[in-house]
Amino acid sequence: MSVTTPKGFAAAGIAAGIKQNGGPDLALVLNKGPRRAAAGVFTANRVKAAPVLWSEQVVRGGEIAAVVLNSGGANACTGPRGFQDTHATAEKAAEVLSALATGEGPDDVGAGQVAVASTGLIGVTLPMDRLLSGIGKAAAELSEHGGEKAALAIKTTDTVHKTAVATGPGGAWTVGGMAKGAGMLAPGLATMLVVLTTDADVESADLDRALRAATRTTFDRVDSDGCMSTNDTVLLLASGASGTVPAYEPFAEAVREVCADLARQLIGDAEGASKDIRIEVVGAASEDDAVEVGRSIARNNLLKCAIHGEDPNWGRVLSAIGTTGAAFEPDRLNVAINDVWVCRNGSFGEDRDLVDMRFREVRVTADLAAGDESAVIWTNDLTADYVHENSAYSS
């Protein structure tokens, strides 16, 4: 049920001493081939962490042999030193993994085939001695059953580790994945590190196409707190070990399914949240309009507080819609909360006392009455616990 479910992958997760609490903080994922095809999607933030800048270059090369991921430090805003540290991490992994070569798959690993992903506090350099010796230790523990341990090692404020899997027709191939992310979750991805693997035999160009299509409607529509990270990374690695070349559509659907599953898990574990809010915008003139309106609603702190208080405050939905440039007429807007249409034609509708908001999942439906397009955005409520988690200590 993770990155080692597809054939051709090994993984490990260990405690390298990067985190001060001594917990697992270093993960390694190895693609044993025969293929090393890969694709990646990264944060849209213009302030990018060193590992993002590095891994973008690796993906451009079209092959990923291994991924090194660490929690305990984002290596963002760390200047030239930070980039050197990421480079040294990739060099070390290449050296260690090449020494392990068995002759079974592609043997040598070049530093340019090692992607790096980091998560944790911005503006702090990593303890490189511990990280580099940790890579040796992790390589020694690489296992075809190591996926869960790897998923555990990338957690930061996550309360649970996140993994998912989808299987192709007849079980001919699988897509597996792991994710971390609990705060700074916003579009252009969230603060998330995600590694997806597949044993399907797919070329990098098709991996890229499938991954972009999948993230566009899953991770990109998770907007927990409106804050876009410097480190977001989603990688998709194909080993080809199943020996099956899949048709594009079912493969892309499996990738989307794993991304959607992981995205939903991210929302379910968002910092301090007590409600998962599914915002569906319907009746939009365009999908872009639907997404713009959904994001505006998702980012309205007053609405997020109201939902925390189980108050179906549809006026805050309307005032959020009103700040967008989407096509709509104010007096034609309709809003449902948990399927009760509390706002009709821009004014009060059904009795708000009919809305039952006791459950964790809350559904907000905004009908723009301007067309046939729609989109779903996920967010969370805003709680005192969120404030506490993000004010009581640096993260």
Q: Extract the annotated binding site.
A: 156, 180, 191, 271, 390, 395
Alpha-carbon span 330 to 318, nearest angstrom:
8
Q: Which member of 290, 343, 355, 375 binds a copy of itself (CB under 8 A)?
A: 343
Nearer to a copy of itself, 184 or 369 (CB): 184
Helix (H, G, I), strand (E, B) or coil at 216: helix
Closest CA to 159 of 185, 181, 189: 181
* Closer residue to a copy of itself in complex, CB, 169/330: 330
Q: Which of 20, 21, 46, 170 binds a copy of itself (CB under 8 A)?
A: 46
Binding-site member from 15, 172, 213, 227 for a copy of itself (CB under 8 A): 227
Question: Does residue number 55 form part of the binding site for a copy of itself (CB under 8 A)?
Answer: no
Q: CA-based diameter of the chain, in Å?
A: 70
Helix (H) or strand (E) holding 55: helix 50-60
Site for a copy of itself in 352-381 (CB under 8 A): none
At a CB cut-off of 8 Å and minimum separation 6, what does 257 contact?
164, 166, 175
- 191 is known as an active-site residue: yes
Q: Which residues contact 140 (CB under 8 A, 6 or more apart)?
A: none
Q: Which residues are annotated as a binding site for substrate?
A: 156, 180, 191, 271, 390, 395
Question: Residues in contact with a copy of itself, total (CB under 8 A)?
Answer: 66
Confirm or reject binding of residue 285 to a copy of itself (CB under 8 A).
Answer: no
Query: Does residue 76 interact with a copy of itself by CB under 8 A?
Result: yes
User: For the residues of 282-335, what is the DSSP string, one character each?
Assistant: EEESSHHHHHHHHHHHHT-HHHHHHHHTT---HHHHHHHHTTS--S--GGG-EE
How many other C-beta atoms can be found within 10 angstroms of the C-beta atom of residue 46?
A: 7
Q: Does 98 participate in binding a copy of itself (rule CB under 8 A)? A: no
Q: Which 8-state DSSP code applies to residue 235? A: E
48 binding a copy of itself? (CB under 8 A): yes
Sign of CA dihedral 261, 355, 346, 308: negative
Binding residue for a copy of itself, selected from 347, 354, 356, 361, defined by CB under 8 A: 347
Q: Nearest distance from residue 361's CB to a copy of itself, in Å?
A: 18
- Helix 314-321, helix 287-298: angle, nearest 10: 130
Q: Does 300 bind a copy of itself (CB under 8 A)?
A: yes
Q: Which residues bind a copy of itself (CB under 8 A)?
A: 44-48, 74, 76-79, 81-82, 121-124, 183-184, 188, 225-230, 299-302, 305-306, 308-309, 311, 313-316, 318-324, 328, 330-331, 333, 343, 345-348, 382-384, 386-394
Which residues are catalytically annotated? 191
